[in-house]
Structure 1
Amino acid sequence: MKQLFKSVIFMMLLMITVSGCQSASKEQNNQKQTQSQSAEPYLKIKDFDGKIVTLQVKPKNIVVLKDEVLHSFYQVGGKAVGRTNAFTIDPPEEAKNVPKVGYMHEVNIEKVLELKPDLVIGQRFTHGELRDTFEKAGIAFINLNTQSIDDIKNNTLLMGKITGHEKKAESLIKAMDSRISQIISQVPKKKKEPSFAIMTIMGDAVFVEQGPTISVDIAKQLKLKNITESLEGEVMAGYIPFSMEAMVKLDPDYLFILSHTTDEDAKKMVENKFKSNPAWNSLSAVSDDKIYFLPKNKFVMAPGVKVVDSFQYMKDIVYSKE
């Protein structure tokens, strides 16, 4: 009887031990699975340079070096720890007191590093050479393009992913697309698209925008023809040097003028350099009073999804008399 009792006790202890081992094993497997899941990166980004940037966790300290992207960033609910001084468009109201790290073309690396960012967002033409510096400091860096309406959309969606506000970004893009489509639908139908040329003034130099640029993209979507696309010359990011001879030969219906400094500088340049030139005065756009100075805060750089205001602006000045 005692022997039977001992056997029963032994079996019970054995079952308890096996059950405990199974529970421990199951707990270890769960821990491994949790660790495996936590090892998944927060976000992988392929930037404009084709670089794959991995964010292991959601970035908290973000420095934005590009005005346009800064607007998109704040529109989706982001909050930067650093930004560059305003270049052509004022920063979002919420970002006015954010620490500045120099100018877009002259970034103060020391000031950036002092902010201890875990992500820096740059612009393709200006900040590519900074990648190695930030990567060596253990800081994620992405370079973005900002030369078309599609770029604005893509950047806004990316800012939504980075900040964890994807739904808000998608909603903003949907509203933006709807408004742009509405504006374009109001453009009168014509057998022949009106032609245009865009002159851009950068200091003492004058260029023609062949594209892709924000202003060219907007004009073409508004059913205008970029007559300067046929011009040959050294192209720099969508710009070629201005030629009066070529402009007279092309003779666009509309002539738009932009300045990368101030609108006053652009008007002074035209007044001093072109108005006394007979060739300039022979242009149809000049004689027909179809020369327009476009505001740089709408056409040199667009403030994120508010680019719809730029569409409305150009549509109104071109088609209001149609």
Structure 2
Amino acid sequence: EEPSRFFYRFTDSLGNSIQLIEKPQRVVSLVGSYAETWLLAGGTLSGVTSDVISERNLDLPKETKIIGTVKEPNLEEIINLSADFVLLSPDIESHVRISQTLENANIPFAFFKVEHFDDYLEMLKICTDITEKKEMYEKYGLKVKDQIEGITDRVAGKKNPTILLIRAFSSGAKAKDDENMACKILNDLGTVNIASKHRSLLEDLSIEEIIREDPDFIFVVTMGNAEEALKALKDGIEKNPVWSRLSAVKNNRYIVLPKELFHYKPNARWGESYEYMSKILYPEEFE
């Protein structure tokens, strides 16, 4: 098989072998953060989902069409746009469903799973290979990698603060562990997550477990409406009289983190996420 028959070949995150016959010209992204990654790679977009506006506030040319939401993209619109490459997430059921129709229609697509910085870096590499703009990989990928390594090197060997990371939403709250993006950043910065020791916290925020461990820092990331999520915490676990006795609460180390750095994938701002967190954990290092 002659490699020259293909413009580009790679393996996506589901292990599919993706073969692009020619350079894509009409790209559609069904995830806002992937749309941003494609733009960072120097590409243009024919279609995107509404979260590019609601979550990312991306400045898009008026010819770029909004084709539904991330969970309910409009398949008909994708086909009407004559898409020749579609970016999908394996974590979203409708994307997996849509991929079968795309395959039947001979529309190339690829699944990307981006949870941590290395995943983003790998996706950016593939995207810049396709756009043939290596300099974008340097600028928005390798430079950010250097920034992150500079920060983790600075805090290596420091004391290991204990932390709890809470994901709060309007109907409740759960602790998160190291699979979570923000927890991975915390882990890379030398913290010890009490939820990794007490797995029950992942299902139910037990005040008894939290009191017993008394973490140095408690961080909150909100999902959905931030005000409603924080109100649910106030009306829930914070109502407990022992809550105010926690060291983190007494020492102003009960901190709500900005969504754009710790909930949505920060992409080219991933280094900022590391820096933001390291200044909270090790202020003496960053004065």
* TM-based fold match above 0.5: yes
Corresponding residue for 1:166?
134
1:4-83 equivalences in 2 (<5 Å): 40-83=5-48
- Bigger Cα Rg: 1
* 8 Å CA contact 1:131, 1:141 repeated in 2: yes
* 8 Å CA contact 2:30, 2:86 repeated in 1: yes
**TM-score in terms of structure 2 length:** 0.88
CA distance in 1, matches of 2:237, 2:70: 31
**SS class of match (1:275):** helix
CA distance in 2, matches of 1:204, 1:185: 39
Corresponding residue for 1:109?
75
* 8 Å CA contact 1:85, 1:102 repeated in 2: yes
**Structure 1 residue ranges without an equivalent (≥5):** 1-35, 234-238
**SS class of match (2:199):** coil
CA deviation map 1:82-110 (0-9, x unaligned):
11112773143246873111111222222
Aligned pair count reads 281
Deviation of the 1:264 alpha carbon: 2.2
CA deviation map 1:220-240 (0-9, x unaligned):
12222222112335xxxxx93
Corresponding residue for 1:212?
179
**SS class of match (1:105):** coil
* 8 Å CA contact 1:199, 1:255 repeated in 2: yes
CA deviation map 1:181-215 (0-9, x unaligned):
2223443743x300112111234132221132221
Corresponding residue for 1:85?
50
**TM-score in terms of structure 1 length:** 0.79
Corresponding residue for 1:223?
190
CA distance in 2, matches of 1:302, 1:309: 12
* 8 Å CA contact 2:163, 2:216 repeated in 1: yes
Change (3 A) 1:227 1:313: same
* 8 Å CA contact 1:72, 1:303 repeated in 2: no
* 8 Å CA contact 2:26, 2:84 repeated in 1: yes
Deviation of the 1:302 alpha carbon: 2.3
1:124-139 equivalences in 2 (<5 Å): 124-126=90-92, 127-139=95-107
Deviation of the 1:312 alpha carbon: 1.6
Corresponding residue for 1:301?
264
CA distance in 2, matches of 1:248, 1:79: 51
* 8 Å CA contact 1:258, 1:266 repeated in 2: no
Q: 1:178 aligns with which of 141, 146, 150?
A: 146
Match of 1:106, as an amino acid?
Answer: E
**Structure 2 residue ranges without an equivalent (≥5):** none
Match of 1:242, as an amino acid?
Answer: D
* 8 Å CA contact 1:89, 1:296 repeated in 2: no
CA distance in 1, matches of 2:85, 2:156: 46
CA deviation map 1:144-182 (0-9, x unaligned):
111111111111111111212234314432211121122
**SS class of match (2:98):** helix
* 8 Å CA contact 2:156, 2:189 repeated in 1: no
Identity %: 23
Corresponding residue for 1:122?
88
**SS class of match (1:93):** coil
